[in-house]
């Protein structure tokens, strides 16, 4: 079993913001692999949907805590499903990667991402997989908090669209051949 967690903030106010790319990508996976509708699980502080990708059981998760408290939901999910941290795959936005680029990381620090840091603090390990989706602004002097909470422009959405298919291919490769093979697809 693999738990795929998309990071974001709940509520209409945050839909289609840069910080909600984790939710956007998990929603795409739900549609692509025909998972059932997300169900709220209050005891897990999340919306979840379960199905299969290839022959692997997969739980898709959208934490309903706010971004900076993501670790609370991830810890509850990990404990409930009794999975090792290596089977937790987190999808999130990343200010250090250019828009339209993605990277898979494992066992690394948060890079200043507060949602990822919350997960590291709650799980007491960095030993989980991260699918990092680039949102780096053209002007790097942009105030981070305001930038990540702004809506994605049409141009940004066009640049991100091809990453959805690439991410799905990487996930399938990771399931069939391991995460290192998936890294070869994404980390180019």
Query: Which residues are catalytic, by number?
Result: 19
Nearest CA-CA partner of 83 in 126, 128, 39: 128
End-to-end CA distance of the chain: 27
Nearest CA-CA partner of 20 in 70, 74, 57: 70
3 state SS of 139: coil
Structure tokens at 109: 């620090």
**117 in Cβ contact with 110 (< 8 Å):** yes
Look-up of token digits 């379960």: 50
d(CA 145, CA 105): 23
Distance of CA 122 to the CA centre of its chain: 17
Give the CA distances from residue 149 to residues 77, 122, 123, in Å, rounded to whole numbers and listed in that order: 26, 24, 26
- 112 — phi, psi (to 5°)? 90, 0
């Amino acid at each position: 079993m693999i738990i795929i967690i998309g990071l974001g903030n709940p509520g209409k106010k945050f839909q289609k913001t840069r910080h909600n790319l984790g939710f956007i990508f998990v929603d795409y996976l739900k549609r692509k692999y025909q998972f059932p509708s997300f169900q709220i699980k209050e005891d897990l502080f999340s919306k979840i949907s379960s199905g299969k990708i290839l022959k692997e059981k997969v739980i898709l998760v959208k934490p309903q805590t706010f971004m900076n408290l993501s670790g609370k939901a991830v810890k509850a999910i990990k404990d409930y499903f009794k999975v090792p941290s290596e089977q937790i795959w987190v999808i999130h936005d990343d200010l250090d990667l250019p828009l339209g680029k993605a990277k898979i990381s494992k066992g690394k620090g948060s890079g200043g991402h507060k949602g990822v840091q919350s997960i590291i603090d709650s799980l007491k390990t960095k030993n989980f997989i991260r699918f990092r989706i680039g949102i780096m602004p053209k002007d790097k002097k942009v105030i981070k908090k305001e930038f990540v909470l702004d809506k994605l422009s049409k141009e940004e959405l066009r640049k991100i669209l091809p990453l959805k298919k690439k991410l799905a291919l990487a996930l399938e490769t990771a399931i069939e051949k391991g995460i290192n093979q998936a890294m070869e697809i994404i980390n180019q």
